[in-house]
Structure 1
Amino acid sequence: MPDFKPCIVVPVYNHEHAIAAVLDGLLRHGTPCILVDDGSSAACAAVLDALALRHAGSVTLVRLPQNQGKGRAVLGGFRRAAELGYSHVLQIDADGQHNTADVPAFLAQAAAHPDAVIAGHPVYDESVPKARLYGRYATHIWVWINTLSFDIKDSMCGFRVYPVAPVNALAARRPIGARMNFDTDILVRLFWDGLQVINLPTRVSYPSDGVSHFRVWRDNVLISWMHTKLFFGMLPRIPRLLARKWQVR
């Protein structure tokens, strides 16, 4: 295994009111950051330009010419991370909902288990919308079905650490969910590829700038279609998934 060399990737789309505080919270841990501007407005782009200039040497700015969705923005960050020689990416959202004080704990787990995905398991405060909280359980159940395991406690949390090489190899091999279906899609497929998933509790609040890019109809349709594709993708993998369960025992 090459030296553990992590960076942080933050996909940004019109979070100009939250991103400076998020970045400050991240940079205090001494890990370089890659901000991916996913076709943001001029106001947000200007904020990102100023942050990249202010933190030159610690922050790399990647700019997508138009909005492509969270998944493609994150994968754009992974490609730049590979170009810069990083071994691992800590992915975190730009809206301030995640606890940046937990970054050292996530990176410590990744250093101890460099071939695993360290996946955030949300511990919510009272700010979480109840419909969003309970609605997540439909995805939890489908993920348990599509992996034939309970190894993934929460596939929707946008705070996790990945080894770079397996993610880029998977993305080169097949398309991954481009929008709010990304986090679940990639985690299930990496699990299918044999990566261990280590769940790490982390406090989550909703969000500091009041901006959510979840679109109820569009994203629920994308998520439902993703689960359908994953289910039919799981069927031929049943023998291998069951063998993996018995090997763990």
Structure 2
Amino acid sequence: MHACIVIPNYNHVAVIESVLTELSALDLPIIMVNDGSTADASAVMRQCESQFPLLTLIEHSENQGKGGAVQTGLLTADKLGYSHAIQVDADGQHDLTDIQTLIYLGKKYPDSVISGQPIYDESVPKVRLYSRYITHFWVWIETLSFSIKDSMCGFRCYPVKETAALLRDKQLGKRMDFDIEIMVRLFWRGTPSRFMPTKVIYPEGGSSHFRAFEDNVLISWMHTRLFFGMLPRIPLLLWRKLRG
């Protein structure tokens, strides 16, 4: 296992130094993608690159969305020869002590996506919590399986070769629809998903880039595409289900 860390970042600089400090203790290369942030936020990220030897900063001239930033990070990881990429948010939501478990499971199941399965506290917005169950329902239909227990958590370990091949073959959503779509499409290609419980918090005073109307429209359109993409795959999915 030759792993790196991928961080999509759009204007999240309030806690980025502490996040990078904690990640640097793992002695893993870090790829952070500045997704068209403001000049002030970009300056902070460039300072971080000079401060943390393990950090490589890639910059988008314009904002592409979280999914676009993650895709850039994953394709860069593939070009650099990494076998696995661990996706981490820049805003301090994730319990970084669980990365050791992600790494352990990535080594044990090298051909699987290892994903966090969130344990929320009272800080989670209730609308975001309830909307997850709607997505869970559609993902179970799109895969004809209950094996994907959570498709929205952005705390994951990807097998890079399989993931990069999908990204080169198929144009995926670049905003908040990405985390869901890539997990379903990897499942269709035979890459299983495995899950570990992990605490997720919404930090007080933190900012979210989720756009209630626009991103829900994108996610709804994505589920429509995935549903109709599932229909011709029904025989294969059922055969795999029976065989497994």
Name the TM tier (shorter chain): over 0.9
- Residue 121 of structure 1 and its aligned partner are, at CA, apart by 0.4
Name the structure 2 match of 1:23.
Answer: 20
Q: Which runs of 4+ in 1 moved over 4 A?
A: none
CA deviation digits over 1:48-85, x for unaligned, max 9? 111110112x1111111110111111111112112221
- Residue 98 of structure 1 and its aligned partner are, at CA, apart by 0.6
3-state SS, counterpart of residue 168 of structure 1: helix
CA deviation digits over 1:158-195, x for unaligned, max 9? 00000111111111111111000000000000000001
1:202-213 alignment runs, 5 A limit: 202-207=198-203, 209-213=205-209
Alpha-carbon contact 1:15-1:209 (below 8 Å) kept: no
10, 15, 33: which one pairs with 1:13? 10
Give the counterpart letter for 1:241 in structure 2: L
Structure-2 separation of matches of 1:28 and 1:246: 44
- Residue 18 of structure 1 and its aligned partner are, at CA, apart by 2.0
Give the counterpart letter for 2:219 in structure 1: I
Tell me whether 1:218 sits opposite 2:214 in the alignment.
Answer: yes
1:96-245 alignment runs, 5 A limit: 96-207=92-203, 209-245=205-241
Give the counterpart letter for 1:204 in structure 2: V
Identity of aligned residues (%): 54
- C-alpha distance 208-172 of structure 1, shift in aligned 2 (>3 A): farther
Tell me the TM-score normalized by structure 2.
Answer: 0.98
Tell me the TM-score normalized by structure 1.
Answer: 0.96
Give the counterpart letter for 1:107 in structure 2: I
Alpha-carbon contact 1:156-1:183 (below 8 Å) kept: yes
Alpha-carbon contact 1:16-1:43 (below 8 Å) kept: no
Considering only aligned residues, what root-mean-square deviation do their CA atoms show, in Å?
Answer: 0.9
Deviates more, 1:75-84 or 1:95-104: 75-84
- C-alpha distance 173-208 of structure 1, shift in aligned 2 (>3 A): farther
Tell me whether 1:76 sits opposite 2:49 in the alignment.
Answer: no
Name the structure 2 match of 1:35.
Answer: 32
3-state SS, counterpart of residue 101 of structure 2: helix
Q: Unaligned regions of 5+ residues in structure 1, if any? A: none
